[in-house]
Structure 1
Amino acid sequence: MEPKRELLELLLSNARESPTDLARQTGLSETEVESGIEKLEADGVVRGYQAVVDWHNVDDEHVQGEVELNVELDRETGYEEIARRIAKFPQVVSLRLVSGDYDFAIDVEGNSMHDVSNFVSEQIAPIPEVTQTVTHFVMETYKERGIEFEDRDEDDRLSISP
C-alpha cells in the first residue's frame, strides 16, 4: 500500500493517534508523517476531524433523519446549484448525489422529530426544483463511520411462532 493511502486508512481508523505512533505503523519518519498529514490537509483530501458520537448515551434529545430527495432540473439549474443551496443549512449533516430511485440523500439532525419534520417541510420541500421528499427517522444506530456500538441492550421482544 502506498504511504499516502496507508496514512489515510490509519487516520480514518483513529485520527487521534500521535505522529510517533503513525510513523511506527507506516515505517515513515515522524517528520514524513507530519508533512504527509499537512499535505493531505492542504490538498483538501482531509477536510476535518470529528468524533463519532453515540447519541443513545447522551441525555439531551437528538434526532437524526435520512431524507430522500427528488428534483427536476431545468436549463439554468443543475445538481451543483441545488446542492450548494441545501448544504448551507446547519441541520444538514451530509448531502450526496446518488443513483437509484431518488437524486439526493440528505442526513439531517434536530432536537426532535418535529424539528426535523419542520425543517424538511419548511426549508427543503419549498425549493422550486424539489419534486418529492421522503424522510426516515433513525431509530437506533449500530455502526457509525466504521465504529460498532456494541453496548446495546439485548432485544427483549418475544418471538412468536405459529
Structure 2
Amino acid sequence: MKLTEKELEVVEILEKNARISIEDLSKMAGLDPEETNKIVAKLEELKVIVSYPTVIDWSKVDGHEGVTAMIDVKVTPKRGVGFDEVAERIYRFKEVKSVYLMSGAYDLSVVIEGRSMNEVARFVSEKLSTLDSVISTTTHFILKKYKHDGTIFEQTDDDKRIVVSP
C-alpha cells in the first residue's frame, strides 16, 4: 500500500509518540485537526496502525520482575503453507509475546515471558518442543534491557564530555 507524504508523516510521528494530541499532531504535520483525524482513522481501519503500545520497565516494579526469553526454533515447513501454520500455533500460546520468521540457522524467533526460568523451561519442554514441526530449540534468557522498541532504559543525563579550559 502506498501512503501519501502526509500519511507517512503522521505514521512516523505517532510511532515516536503514540500519546501525542491530535492538535499537536496536526501542527507537526501541517494539517487541520479534522483532516488529521480522518488520516488516523483510515490508517487504523487499513491496519497500518495496529496498536498503541506502552513500553514498561518492569525491573523497576517490585513483584513483577519476571523472565523474558528469546527462543530460536528450527522447524519443518508444511507443504502449501510453509512456516505460517506452525508460527500460528506458536503465537497462540499465552506466554508468547512475539514470533518472527528469520533468515539464518533457525527459522523462527520466539519471545516469551514467564514468572521464572523454570516456567520458561516448562513452556519449551512441554509445549513448544512437542509440536510436530519443531526440530530443535535454543533458549536465550534476557539478563538486562538496555534499549527496547527505540526506548533507552536507565539513560543517565550525566554530561560525559571532558572539560576543556584555555
TM-score above 0.5: yes
Q: C-alpha separation between the residues in 1 aligned to 2:43 and 2:110?
A: 26
1:46 to 49, 52, 67: 49
Q: Is 1:29 matched with 2:32?
A: yes
Say whether 1:147 aligns with 2:151. Answer: yes
CA distance in 1, matches of 2:46, 2:78: 33
- The equivalent of 2:134 in structure 1 is 130
Task: Give 2:20's aligned residue.
Answer: 17
Report sequence identity in percent: 39
Q: CA deviation at 1:33?
A: 1.2
Give CA deviations for 1:81-105 in whole Å, capped at 9, x if unaligned: 1111111111110101011111001
Match of 1:159 in 2: none
Name the residue aligned to 2:122. Answer: 118
Amino acid at match of 1:115: E
Q: How far 1:120 sits from its partner (Å)?
A: 1.3
The total of aligned residue pairs comes to 152
1:156 maps to none
Q: Distance in 1 between matches of 2:69 and 2:6?
A: 37
Task: After the TM superposition, list the runs of 4 or more consecutive aligned residues in structure 1 that deviate by more than 2 angstroms.
Answer: 73-78
Unaligned regions of 5+ residues in structure 1, if any? 153-162
Among 3, 6, 9, the residue aligned to 1:3: 6
TM-score, scaled to structure 1? 0.89
Matches within 5 A, 1:18-97: 18-60=21-63, 61-75=65-79, 78-97=82-101
Quick one: distance in 2 between partners of 1:40 and 1:76? Answer: 31
- Aligned CA RMSD, in angstroms, stands at 1.5
Show structure 2 runs of 5+ residues with no match. 157-166
Give the distance between the partners of 2:155 and 2:66, measured in 1 at CA: 19
